[in-house]
Amino acid sequence: VKLRLYPNKQQQAQLWQMFGNDRRVWNLMLDMAKQRYQNNPSSHFVNEYGMNYLIKQLKQEYPYLKDSDATSFLV
């Protein structure tokens, strides 16, 4: 099955916003993991459930993340 979408200008803007927000969350999580490892190399890696828990806090810190679909942030 092939499917092709033709979003209008508003939908395109929403998609670009969502992709940008996803990229921002990814980079924030990666930076947090790197800093945690640099501060304490023997600490346990934060798994996907721990990272998903942090998304709520990120949405409070960065209100524009609330404009994206919540499921797009899940690992």
The span from the CA of 28 to the CA of 24, in Å, is: 6
Q: Is residue 29 situated within a structural domain?
A: no
| Contact yes or no for 46/33 (Cβ under 8 A) | yes
- How many independent structural domains does the chain possess? 1
Residue 60 located in a structural domain: yes
Query: What tens-digit pLDDT sequence spans the chain (75 residues)?
Result: 999 999 999 999 999 999 999 999 999 999 988 998 899 888 888 888 888 888 889 999 999 999 888 788 875
Supply the pLDDT for residue 13: 95
- Residue 74 in any domain: the answer is yes
Distance CA 8, CA 10 (A): 6
Tell me the whole-structure pTM to 2 decimals.
Answer: 0.80
Q: By residue range, what is the domain housing residue 57?
A: 45-75
